[in-house]
Every structure is written in C-alpha cells, then in structure tokens.
Amino acid sequence: MKVFIKPLTLLVIIITACNDSKKQESKPVPSSQIEVEKVKLTSLTGKPIDMKQYKGKTVFINFWATWCKPCLEEMPTIKKAMGFLEDEKIEFLFASDESTEEIHAFETEHSYGLYYTRAGNIEELNIIGLPTTFIFDREGKQVFSEMGYRKWDDKANIDLLLKIARPE
C-alpha cells in the first residue's frame, strides 16, 4: 500500500497545479535561495548548458510540459513579456523533462521561437507541479519561485521582472 501513496500524492499535486489555469492571485514563494548553477539543463542537442554564462543577467526559467494546459496558456504571455523586455539583460529558458523528440515536435507545432531545454534535475529542485517559474538575479541567486499559471505580460508582472533586472 505504501508503494502507491507517494506516486498517488504526486499525481494529485500535478493535476491540481495544472487544473486552475486562470489562477492569478498567487504570490511569489520565498525561495530556498538556490544558486542558478544548481539547475541542470541541456540543449536539445544534448550539450550541457553552463549556467555560469548567465552571470550578470537575470535568468527566467519556466519549467513546463507539452501536456500541461496552463503551461501552454502561459507561454504566449511569456513571449509577449519577452518582447516588452527585449532591451533588458534577461535570459528566458524553457525547461522540460520530456524527451527531446517530444519537445522538438512541440517546437515545430508552435512557432513561439523560445529557447527550449531539457531539465535534468526537476526532483532535486523540488518542482512538484507545472508550470513552475524560477527567477535568478544578476548574481545567480534565486529571488522568485512560483508554481502555477501567471499572465506574464500584465503590467504588474512586467514591473516585477524590471525590478529584478534593475535592482537599483
């Protein structure tokens, strides 16, 4: 019986996270202050991504899946936010633990022009629902962590990103 409890609990959490696609009132959760280097990503060609290359930039990482409806609804809002913020030093990465083939198929079907990567350590990062967004400041410290849908092109969210990107 114990064998089924943990997977069943995880399934309930994931379904719950992906059900409420219009939830906007959530607040950023204080992060555990992980360093950006703790996130293990690879390119779709299998090459490890050196997260140290983003030192001096804000890093926005959206963890998503092709089957997650709120993830798919959130992506166009992130793409619009990217357009508003194109002059800022913000790197936007989209990380999935699905197969490279699944991500490539999604990329072909949806012409968002996003930087898709493969996530290598979702469990280690304690990501229990999708979408989940992490934002790291210029020094590589996590300053934002949130599970759930957010309309990233809203003014309040653009202001949040600007405040992180321009800490003065």
User: pLDDT under 70 in the chain at which residues?
Assistant: 1-32
pLDDT in tens, 10-37: 444 444 455 444 444 434 444 457 899 9
Q: What is the pLDDT of residue 28?
A: 47
Angle, helices 155-165/69-84, rounded to nearest 10 degrees: 60
E strand spans, 6-157? 41-42, 58-63, 90-96, 116-119, 132-136, 142-147
Enumerate domains of the chain plus CATH numbers: 2-165 (3.40.30.10)
Phi, psi of 144, deg, nearest 5: -150, 135
Strand order in the sheet with 90-96: 41-42, 116-119, 90-96, 58-63, 132-136, 142-147
Q: What is the pLDDT of residue 33?
A: 73
Note the pTM of the prediction, 2 decimals: 0.82
